Copies of this chain bind each other. A is one copy, B any other.
Amino acid sequence: MSTEKLALTTNSGARKPASAGGANALAADLTRALGPRKVLSNLSERLNYRYDAIQFGATPLAVVLPESTEDVVTAVRAARAAGVPIVGRGAASGLSGGAAPLEPGLVISFTRMTRLTIHQGRREATAQAGVVTLAVTEAARPHGLIYPPDPASFRTSTIGGNLAENAGGPMCFKYGVSGDYVRALEFVDADGEVHRLTRDVFDLAGLLIGSEGTLGLITEATLRLIPPPKFTRTLMAHFPEVGACAEAVSRAIAAGAVPSKLEFMDRACTNAVEDYLHLGLPRDAEAVLLVDTDGEDLDTVQDELRLVEDACVASGGTVRRAATDDEGAQLWRARRSVSPALGRIRPQRMNEDIVVPRSALPDVVREIRALGDASPFPVVQFGHIGDGNLHPNILFDPRTEDAHAVHDLAHRIALVAIRHGGVLSGEHGIGSMKRDFMTDAVDPETLTALRGVKRALDPSAALNPGKILPAEEVMVDG
């Protein structure tokens, strides 16, 4: 196997398309530099690294499993020398195609970079990119601390992936999203240079967070930890109408409640879960609301739950309080089971992540329902209603149903959000699935600025090409 195919292309600054021969040369070069244990080059192995939780992409030419930042540097330099794109990947549980490569190239899978240190006195964790999200709290809890961000996938997702997508979760209404917990960041740039950043003037770290691996590869983060709330209380409410549910939430917040979780499921979603688990959920309700309050002081936590209960009743809702922590966990089982429940209806789903002003929620939910009813696809809605973050899901079977029709419906749902003053993504990222909608969501001047920043940090467009920013041609046409 010749290494001559690894001729440097950095002079021209342009990537050259890699051939299958180039792939083998790349894998050989990587194996020589990193040893065979850290490189996957067989097709059967590489096939496993072409997708995330929602989208299939291109089969990578080689996969590197780095064990250190130095390994990442070596891999990036080899990929750049070979002129192939580079895609970072954590647990690949993302829901926007962020970790699915769009072109054959190098995938860097961070699952072996799992070093995790808890600094009790500083209330910080230092976590390599491959540390599983839940592991941070598990390691911190004996020290009386937790890491609050709780994306649905937090039992498998990684810190690197969470930060690349700036993931949220139910706790984020009260406690903030992943990026809010980052005190410092290490990343490897497109040239293989290592940067160590605090959250300082010119917040480059903040720019990396949520950039989906398009500006650099996050290798390690210093995360802020907090003491866990001493008490948590739970209620479930259901409403004859979605507007009444949104109204109850606004009323409770205006009355002074800051629930730690505020989750909404529409009728189609509730019925999907009920079909699956038979929990006795109210099948006729147009909206089910799940609420946690938490804090240091039980009286305050109960007072806050009472504010929420009063608001629900005043808005025409029916309330069920959990009497015990076990009953609370039981109520939350409904919300946590949404994903498997939907998987029983159709094998695949397009999962939107829109955020709209809470006051617009009734109209938005109604308009999206109408779009779903007029389409051939089941559409269900659920999400973090406190933030106005809604997840309309289009369920479909890619073997028998038209992907273009799904994409078209997803686009029309996105336009509903934008028309009501909303944005495309609350916590899942843009990835490849929603990048075409960016021209609707972001004005041309700002897209130009984003493109300028991308070019400044990745002039050869080697990092996760095809994500977030729409193709330039779209701009010219628009």
Asked if A207 lies at the interface with its beta carbon under 8 angstroms from chain B, I say yes
A204 touching B453 by the CB < 8 A rule?
yes
Distance of A401 Cα from B13 Cα, bound (Å): 52
Asked if A7 lies at the interface with its beta carbon under 8 angstroms from chain B, I say no
Asked if A134 lies at the interface with its beta carbon under 8 angstroms from chain B, I say no
Cross-chain contact of A121 among B194, B211, B250 (Cβ < 8 A): B250
Contacts of A196 in B (CB 8 A): 443, 446
> How many copies of the polypeptide does the oligomer hold?
2
Interface residue count on the A side (C-beta < 8 Å): 60
Contacts of A254 in B (CB 8 A): 120-121
B123 touching A253 by the CB < 8 A rule?
yes
Contacts of A258 in B (CB 8 A): 226-227
Cross-chain contact of A445 among B195, B468, B469 (Cβ < 8 A): B195
Q: Of the listed stretches A60-68, A83-91, A296-304, A405-413, name the one at the interface; the rest are far from the partner chain.
A: A296-304
Asked if A320 lies at the interface with its beta carbon under 8 angstroms from chain B, I say no
Contacts of A296 in B (CB 8 A): 295-297, 300
Q: Of the listed stretches A328-336, A390-398, A422-430, name the one at the interface; the rest are far from the partner chain.
A: A422-430
A166 touching B201 by the CB < 8 A rule?
yes
Contacts of A456 in B (CB 8 A): 449, 452-453, 455-456
Q: Would you give 14 A-B contacts (Cβ < 8 Å), ordered by A?
A: A193-B445, A195-B449, A201-B212, A201-B430, A202-B210, A202-B453, A202-B469, A203-B206, A203-B210, A203-B211, A206-B206, A296-B297, A449-B457, A453-B456
Task: List 16 extra interface pairs beyond A121-B359, A206-B207, A207-B207, CB under 8 A.
Answer: A121-B250, A121-B254, A122-B359, A144-B256, A166-B203, A176-B180, A189-B445, A193-B445, A194-B445, A200-B424, A202-B207, A202-B450, A203-B209, A204-B450, A296-B300, A449-B457
